[in-house]
Structure 1
Amino acid sequence: MNQNKTIKLDDAPLNKFHVKIAGLTFGAHFTDGYILGIIGIALTLLKPEMELSPLWVGLVGSSALIGLFLGSLILGWISDFIGRQKIFVFSFILITLASFFQFFADNAMELVLLRILIGIGLGGDYSVGHTMLAEFSPRKYRGVLLGSFSVIWTFGYVASSIIGFYLLKMGPDAWKWMLVSSAIPALIILILRIGTPESPRWLISKGRIDEASQIVKKYVGKNVVLDDETPIKNNASFSSLFSKNLRKRTIFNCLFFVCLVIPYFAIYTFLPDILNTMGLSENFGTDLLLNGILVVGAILGILFTIKYSRRGFLISSFIFLSITLFLLSILPDNANMFMIVIFAAFTLIMSAVSNLVGVFPAESFPTEIRSSGVGLATSMSRLGSAVGTFLLPISISELGMSPTMLALTAVLVIGTIVSIAWAPETKALTLSEASGNSENSNLDNLIPKNKKTV
């Protein structure tokens, strides 16, 4: 093979730098899963110690998600102007500091405010992390790398359950150690992120071609070039997400994301309480079993992302989840074993399809507004999941478990309809083609109608 032959960035071979960027982004998702998971166990101690009402339980449980909404929206938009790398580092400065100060929170309000700050940092990282990896990754590996976020997030979530369970032995103040423990992975990621390069695609969008070329040659390969080295001439803004060419994909990404994460976070943030209410858990065993299934499902999701079309995987998963959650809503309380089997199946597929929340948004938007698009989809999902997490303990208390599960089933049905109507197919396209950067690309062309998609 001719070593001097130029290769486009989208077709570059995977190298150590790609693995490093993936690792730094994966580490962030591990931290995210840990932070959002540990609060569920900490609340079992916080509720009696601080005498929290269902309202305050919902606020504490959803506060990081509220911050995620704000951070994804604001920091994602800012990164399209000042660059990905600055937010890539700043977000973890905020997460590390706020995680540490949770140890000194004396009341629920202080805890809510600190976790909102943590969420803002996580939201900013969601926007730029997915974007950075998408903009550096070759298309052959992009789906696997972006889809792997869910696996690492799940490992973080499960790790929080295991560590939280053992920290319970430290007594009533164990919740302080649970929450502050998230500062450890956050600090490690922060240190490792210092010195990472700016996204060359973002530099090109700002007309800084020489800088972009130098970064590509230094980190990706001396014979690698940008897919398109023409500066983007239009002045894209946040409102561009709702232009005629982009509004359909913007609405799709927001809605499918929301419809997946509302039941995910509502159910798994309060998993111990839900299992007890359903009569499925008298010890840590069932909880640990379902957490293990979350990990298996996340890994299975990577295989499905490789093997099947994005669109087909999403639609079939929504249908399956709607059916299984409906069954959980109507089954009698004495059908314990059958309920565990169905809950396990629901957990497996929910974890698997969650891989796509890292894939679709990053592949759907042009470079000049990619972080804004990913940020908007993430922020809407986190707003929805925050509302769902806030309302869940109140709904269970006032209405009961069955009506609450039926309401979450309705959310999944909406996701099914939206996906059938609007889900694109981006699997076999370059990042420019998938996002509509190329002149002949539009959302309708992304629906599988020809041999370029799988």
Structure 2
Amino acid sequence: MSIHAESNTARRKNNYFDNIPVSRQHLLLFILIVLSYFFEQLDNNNFAFIAPAIVKNGFVTQAQIGTITGIYFLGMTLGGFLGGIISDLIGRRKTFLMSMLIFSSASILNGLTNSFEMFVFARAATGFGIFMMMVTSIAYISEMSPGESRGKWQSITAAGGFCAMPVIGIISRAIIPMSPDAYRIIFYLGGAGFITFLLGLKYLKESPRWLVAKGRVAEAEQVVKELSGHDIDLSEVAKNVPPKVNAWDQFIGMFSGKYMKRTSVLLLFGIPANICAFVLAVWIPTLAGMKGFTMEQSLSIGVAFMAGAPVGMFLFSFFSDKGGRKIPLAIGVMCTAVAAMVYAYVGNSYILTMVVAFILNAFVMGYGFVAMAYVPEHYPTQMRNTAVGAINGFQRLGVSFSQPFIPIIATTYGVKGLFIGIFVVYTFAAAVVFFLGQRTGGIPLEQIE
């Protein structure tokens, strides 16, 4: 025991957390991220269950659901762009905490309002806060994890947090049918994000990579020591930090030199894949209703769909770091395409539809968090969150523009036609990452740069 203690206190050079076992204190940080994800996903996924109810009670029309969803993703787009820039300027920690305040407050406002305009505004603000946190957390986990297991920790933290998806489904299934206004309770539950905000004020640490990029090496070494128990000398790492650039130059840098191809591939893959993923995440209960299922059955299908999320992320965590990251990513996307095609032909079998919906979202969220580990690995620390925010912002912008067309496509070509289209788009996305994507998994971030 004394030998182990001496090895931990001896000062040595190291690349942040690489090749250091995750300590109890480090694990507590990941648990805090899990809780943050959990409350964020309560807000992010509640509208899929609320939408059929507010159409039924006359608060909105079917067409307005597309408008609300489109505006929500515009809020996400803005949150992605600004969240990345802000977190590169003021730090991951402050941006993370700010985002929780925004989406928790906006969710409560959604429950309180009787105005359609205020409802749309609150949904936009919710999307803004949720995605500000999401892009910050993607880079944050990459920077706070050992290089050899970044993908594993991205998937494990997400799997724990995204248990909120079936939980909000079960709660919604129990509460929403109680009365025409019962959906408001679901929005009020979104205010639970204040819990992790208060915990984060005390326990959330700043990214040591961000601190080093800002010249605050001693503070970075202290964070690594507090989390790992090892006294790490980061002086050599600090010598290799590229010069500081402003936010606009960071954004332009994504489309310059060696980053041009990386950015192009991530957008060619990410935009179509995200459009498909959010058609599924937002519309599954509503599309089930269009197939003839009752509201209760549609909500149950939505619950089954949501339940697949943590299972998929947990299973994908075992091989997220394999094959240079891009191989499991491409395979996961292609499996999702096949599952979408199966869903197109299951017909109106209630039980079979629930089973396929579960499998479908297991693949969606499984590959999704492989992708979330994959994107930040393509950029250096000083532009990482700006780039992650921009990539995800462009993806959500694509989703936003696509949303109003979903009910039109489903009405014109039927639910089967819509899902065949999803298969085609997913197949294209899988081909892009498989043939053009870069291998990044298991390599120290500084070596990729």
Instruction: Rate the CA distance shift 1:332–1:321 in 2: closer, same or farther, 3 A.
Output: closer
- 8 Å Cα contact 2:76/2:131 also seen in 1: yes
- 8 Å Cα contact 2:77/2:396 also seen in 1: yes
1:189 corresponding residue in structure 2? 196
Instruction: Rate the CA distance shift 1:271–1:335 in 2: closer, same or farther, 3 A.
Output: closer
1:252 corresponding residue in structure 2? 265
Deviation at 1:291, TM superposition (A): 3.2
1:6 aligns with 2:16: no
Gaps of at least 5 residues in structure 2 are: none
Rounded to whole Å, the distance in 2 between the matches of 1:290 and 1:104 is 28
1:449 corresponding residue in structure 2? none
1:240 aligns with 2:253: yes
Instruction: Rate the CA distance shift 1:28–1:389 in 2: closer, same or farther, 3 A.
Output: farther
Normalised by the size of structure 2, how large is the TM-score? Answer: 0.88
Rounded to whole Å, the distance in 2 between the matches of 1:355 and 1:367 is 20
Q: What's the % identity of the aligned pairs?
A: 21
Normalised by the size of structure 1, how large is the TM-score? Answer: 0.87
Deviation at 1:192, TM superposition (A): 1.0
Question: What letter matches 1:246 in structure 2?
Answer: Y
2:47 corresponding residue in structure 1? 39
Instruction: Rate the CA distance shift 1:59–1:337 in 2: closer, same or farther, 3 A.
Output: same
1:296 corresponding residue in structure 2? 311
Deviation at 1:352, TM superposition (A): 2.0
- 8 Å Cα contact 1:260/1:354 also seen in 2: no
Rounded to whole Å, the distance in 2 between the matches of 1:174 and 1:339 is 26
Q: How does 1:253-402 map to 2 (within 5 A)?
A: 253-278=266-291, 283=297, 285-306=300-321, 309-329=324-344, 331=345, 333=347, 342-402=356-416
Q: How does 1:49-448 map to 2 (within 5 A)?
A: 49-184=57-192, 186-195=193-202, 196-226=204-234, 228-230=237-239, 231-233=241-243, 235=245, 237-278=250-291, 283=297, 285-306=300-321, 309-329=324-344, 331=345, 333=347, 342-434=356-448, 436=449
Rounded to whole Å, the distance in 1 between the matches of 2:230 and 2:131 is 34
Deviation at 1:171, TM superposition (A): 0.6
1:447 corresponding residue in structure 2? none
Which whole-Å deviations, capped at 9, do the CAs of 1:260-296 have from their partners, x for residues lacking one? Answer: 3222221221222222333577725544433333332
Rounded to whole Å, the distance in 1 between the matches of 2:221 and 2:346 is 63
Question: What letter matches 1:167 in structure 2?
Answer: I
Deviation at 1:251, TM superposition (A): 2.3
Instruction: Rate the CA distance shift 1:223–1:263 in 2: closer, same or farther, 3 A.
Output: same
Question: What letter matches 2:26 in structure 1?
Answer: H
- 8 Å Cα contact 2:165/2:309 also seen in 1: no
Which whole-Å deviations, capped at 9, do the CAs of 1:356-396 have from their partners, x for residues lacking one? Answer: 13211122210000111111122122223333444322322
Rounded to whole Å, the distance in 1 between the matches of 2:112 and 2:207 is 38
Rounded to whole Å, the distance in 1 between the matches of 2:135 and 2:222 is 24
- 8 Å Cα contact 1:77/1:372 also seen in 2: yes
More off after superposition, 91-100 vs 15-24? 15-24
State the number of aligned residues. 433
Partner SS, residue 207 of structure 1: coil
1:19 corresponding residue in structure 2? 27
Deviation at 1:248, TM superposition (A): 1.7
Instruction: Rate the CA distance shift 1:96–1:364 in 2: closer, same or farther, 3 A.
Output: same
- 8 Å Cα contact 2:305/2:360 also seen in 1: no
Partner SS, residue 292 of structure 1: helix
Question: What letter matches 2:280 in structure 1?
Answer: I
Partner SS, residue 70 of structure 1: helix
Question: What letter matches 1:56 in structure 2?
Answer: Q
Rounded to whole Å, the distance in 2 between the matches of 1:333 and 1:136 is 46
More off after superposition, 101-110 vs 204-213? 204-213
Rounded to whole Å, the distance in 2 between the matches of 1:234 and 1:315 is 34
